[in-house]
Amino acid sequence: MPVAPGETMLTISVSTASAGYTGTLKLPVVVTKPASPLKLAFEPKLETRTVKAAGSSFTVKTVTIPKGMPVTTGYANRKIGTTQSLAGMAAAYHADIAINGAFFDSYSGVPDPYGTLISGSLPQHIGNTGTSIGFKWDGSAVMDTLRIGIRGTVIAPSGGTSSWYAYFMNRLPSGKSTATIFTPQRGDSLGFKAENAVVVRKGAVTAIRHGVDTAIPPDGYVIVYQGGEAGQAGRFQVGSRVTYKVNTTNLTGASVDWSGVHTAVGAGPRLVTDGKVTLDPTAEGFRDPKILTGGGARSGIAIRKDGSVMIATVSGATMKQWAAVMVQLGARQAMNLDGGASSGMMFQGKTVTAPGRLLSNALLFGQQLRF
């Protein structure tokens, strides 16, 4: 991660509900000179390739990215629930390479994502459909049908202990019931009047609000319970200590260790596994004919045998064709990203594939990323 010269104070806060412990460690940090760019195995390469697959010929634009190149999830205007041009996101994060990421609601109002998004090692949105690609601190990339669950503990001032859960993160309620965590990545406030909003700062409940828009603390989060989940709000009191744990499994329910993943984007479906086509969108939760049978502009991402990553766009293909193309391009693992008018890619400040609309999120790569 690039670091500029200067001085700062590193603050580490620890809160353990089970032991009732809260503590803060402050460390002065002085950076005397900027970090040097990482030495990568090769320079990122842009290519336009003609690929014959599934009985047809396709013109595919690809960028091959060396293993370990810094990467982050980019958010439109640096928050969830808005849109921005792909070029604007790339510029805001100082990215050299960009491709559109997770599906999002581009038609019915607030452009919330549909897929899972992780940044800074923390989930910022939970989709629980499709396939996700994750980037680890050791430079490697992983791909799986990631499913995320949140379970927490609350200890009342009297010492009584209760459990709680949430199944969404940073997504506006769309039904009668919701159990959702809102973090500062959503913005300064919820943006709607929540039935029950539990405000948590530094591991402690500081307020419980009803029927009003609520500010999201920069050092905490807000848990919203509505409809059939409203009863959970009664487990919290002002002064209660609160913690939660993120549980990660795959589509089969098997536990997967994504603890080393700092960045992830969920879309799908999975196209290639271990060099072979493994396409089953229905099993991953897709129902839209545009994914199941239709054709259209596609974006995708692959992990190659040497650990490098390849991003790609094509102007028109069905999912079966797209999977076959990825195999021909040398993918060991591959997945689809949002497509259609969202399909877009940039390389070194220039548009390679122009999206037809503003975007909610993107995957961004670069030697001098501004996180």
pLDDT in tens, 146-166: 999 999 999 999 999 999 999
Handedness of CA 125, 126, 127, 133 (dihedral sign): positive
In the predicted model, what is the mean pLDDT of the chain? 93
333 contacts 272 by C-beta, under 8 angstroms? yes
Q: Identify the sign of the CA torsion 343, 345, 351, 352.
A: negative
- Report whether pLDDT(6) > 60: no
Percentage of the chain with pLDDT > 70? Answer: 90
Q: Residue 108: its pLDDT value, please?
A: 84
At residue 18, the pLDDT reads 47
- What does the pLDDT look like over 273-289, one tens digit per residue? 999 999 999 999 999 99
Instruction: Check whether 17 has a pLDDT greater than 90.
Output: no
How far apart CA 246 and CA 102 sit, in angstroms, is 20
User: What are the pLDDT digits (tens) for 167-209?
Assistant: 999 999 988 999 999 999 999 999 999 999 999 999 999 999 9
pLDDT of residue 29: 55
Stretch 326-345: mean pLDDT? 99
Give the pLDDT of residue 1: 44
| pLDDT-based confidence at residue 28 (cuts at 50, 70, 90) | low
Of 183, 181, 186, 171, the closest CA to residue 236 belongs to 181
* Per-residue confidence band for 5, with pLDDT thresholds at 50, 70 and 90: low
**Residue 12 pLDDT:** 54
Cβ contact 266:116 at 8 Å: yes
Tens digits of residue pLDDT in 29-56? 555 555 556 789 999 999 999 999 999 9
Terminal CA-CA length for the chain: 8
Q: Average the pLDDT over 256-275 and give the result.
A: 98
Among 80-84, 172-176, 356-360, whose mean pLDDT is lowest? 172-176
> Under CATH, which number does the domain 149-246 receive?
2.60.120.1140
In the prediction, which pLDDT does 39 show?
A: 86
- Quote the pTM value: 0.91
- Pairwise CA distance, residues 73 & 80, whole Å: 11
pLDDT number for residue 77: 98
pLDDT of residue 10: 52
Residue 14 confidence (pLDDT) above 70: no
Q: According to CATH, where is 2.60.120.1140 located in the chain?
A: 149-246
Query: Band of the pLDDT at 2, cuts 50, 70, 90?
Result: very low
